[in-house]
Amino acid sequence: MGVAVPDTYVELADLAMARGVAPGKYVDGLGVTRMGVPLVDEDTVTLAARAARMALESAHCSPDDIGLLVVGTETAVDHSKPVASYVQGLLGLSTRCRIFETKHACYGGTAALQMALDWVRSGSAKGRKALIVCSDIARYGVGTPGEPTQGAGAVAMLVSDHPALVVLEAGKTGVYSKDVMDFWRPLYSKDALVDGHYSVECYLAALEGAYRAYQEAAGDAGGEGAYSDRFAALVYHVPYGKMSRKAHRHLRTLDGDAAPDASFDRLVGHSLVMPSQVGNIYTGSMYLALASLLSSAPEDLTGKRVGLFSYGSGSCAEFFSGVVQDGAQARVKALGLEARLARRRALSIPEYEDVMRAREHLDERPAADAAGSGFRYQGTRDHKRIYAT
């Protein structure tokens, strides 16, 4: 696994004060402390490439071992050329690699992951690995209710028949999909549009449908106690921390738990440590929460089952599960994600608003002459995006 977040962020308490809102509404009411805000040399491609490089390095995996690269995103940089092709170029992946991009709001990365699992299980991988990257920059209009639920980041995952972190369980998955208009981004808009409170209802309805479908697929629904106590942890899609709390309350109520909040800290709390520092990263959000769980849970999760709920507006959702492998927590800790988050620089609100304005024209920005390094977006030349390697 690899994770990339912008080097800069906005403190939600500062944003609340600038918007004339009580800081408690954003920090406690939404459950977000900071949100990642990328500067103009960062885009969906650079975040994806940085996360992918970390995943390859951490697994000591050669680019030639990758036979499938899929980038799930809802904030792509081109209507035709996939983010995945840029990532292939930046990472130097083999030409014998199937490469494309998937889209279904925040579910796009999970769609890619599930397909990669089938590719590995079918034998088509022939010993090679799939590289799945979820990369997005969440953007709502300045001053809108969605503004405090922005964020940016990417999570990359290697999928193989010898998983080092989590064995995703074959057949144990439940899907729910329904055509709804809860969150969308028209082709002419940089900002997402959302029917906020309705989107929360859609999320919860999808959770219920996917969870019921999972129970039917996995069996054992009539056993003793709350069904979700079969999981050592539950990782929900996290547009903002409070949504995970609402999700957990709903799921435990479905389980017949008369005190549905009582298990929240135990089953969900550790997955929210990093999301509360980064904000919504759309496709990667649930996987950042998984990284957070593996990195910060004090107990040994080896051999224990984790429930995962992915939700994409529009909508498609999936509840699935995996078993944590020996050494997984140490491997994720070794990525040093907390230290990376601590090294970021805070933007003042005027700086953030300048960045938001500048990002509106990023796609037409002339490429800077100065050569940078480390997967940075430099602008465009002859309508082609230029990246520093």
Q: Which of 172, 171, 105 is nearest to 134 (CA)?
A: 105
3-state secondary structure of 77: coil
Where is the binding site for (3S)-3-hydroxy-3-methylglutaryl-CoA, in residues?
140, 246, 280
How far apart are CB 192 and ligand CAA at their closest, in Å?
A: 7
Is beta strand 193-194 parallel, antiparallel or unpaired with respect to 183-184?
Answer: antiparallel
DSSP string covering 243-271: HHHHHHHHHHHHTT-SSTTTTHHHHTGGG
Q: Which are the contacts of 324, defined by CB distance < 8 A and separation ≥ 6?
A: 165, 166, 232, 294, 301, 302, 303, 304, 305, 306
Query: Is there a catalytic annotation at residue 237?
Result: yes
Out of 104, 237, 248, 270, pick the active-site residue. 237
How far apart are CB 138 and ligand CAA at their closest, in Å?
A: 7
**Letter string b/e over residues 122-135, b meaning 16 or more CB atoms within 10 A of that residue's CB:** eeebeebbbbbbbb
Which residue sits closest to ligand CAA, CB atoms considered? 29
Q: Which of 5, 166, 189, 176 is nearest to 107 (CA)?
A: 176
Indicate the residue among 244 and 378 with the shorter CB distance to ligand CAA: 244
Indicate the residue among 16 and 84 with the shorter CB distance to ligand CAA: 16
How far apart are CB 331 and ligand CAA at their closest, in Å?
A: 27
Element at 357 (helix H, strand E):
helix 349-359
Out of 11, 97, 104, 106, pick the active-site residue. 106
Token pair for 214: 């999972």
3-state secondary structure of 338: helix
How far apart are CB 6 and ligand CAA at their closest, in Å?
A: 18
Q: Which of 224, 212, 269 is nearest to 31 (CA)?
A: 269
Indicate the residue among 207 and 335 with the shorter CB distance to ligand CAA: 207
Token pair for 73: 């995103």
How far apart are CB 201 and ligand CAA at their closest, in Å?
A: 9
How far apart are CB 280 and ligand CAA at their closest, in Å?
A: 5
Indicate the residue among 22 and 358 with the shorter CB distance to ligand CAA: 22
Is-contact 211 236, C-beta < 8 A? no
Q: Which residues bind ligand CAA (CB under 6 A)?
A: 22, 24-25, 28-30, 106, 145-146, 149, 182-183, 194, 196-197, 199-200, 203, 237, 239-240, 242-243, 280, 282, 311, 313
Out of 42, 74, 101, 147, pick the active-site residue. 74
Where is the binding site, in residues?
140, 246, 280
Reported in sequence order, the residue ranges of the chain that DSSP labels E, i.e. its strands, are 2-4, 8-11, 34-36, 66-72, 98-102, 129-138, 151-159, 166-177, 183-184, 193-194, 233-236, 305-312, 316-324, 345-346, 376-381, 384-388
Token pair for 360: 């509106």
Indicate the residue among 183 and 387 with the shorter CB distance to ligand CAA: 183
Is-contact 84 98, C-beta < 8 A? no
Indicate the residue among 85 and 149 with the shorter CB distance to ligand CAA: 149
Query: Is there a catalytic annotation at residue 202?
Result: no
Cis peptide before 315 (omega within 30 of 0): yes
Indicate the residue among 317 and 337 with the shorter CB distance to ligand CAA: 317
Is-contact 284 138, C-beta < 8 A? no
How far apart are CB 23 and ligand CAA at their closest, in Å?
A: 8
The alpha carbon dihedral of 89, 95, 101, 106 has a sign of negative
DSSP string covering 209-233: HHHHHHHHHH--TTSSS-GGGG-SE
Query: Is there a catalytic annotation at residue 74?
Result: yes
- Report, as residue numbers or ranges, the catalytic residues: 74, 106, 237
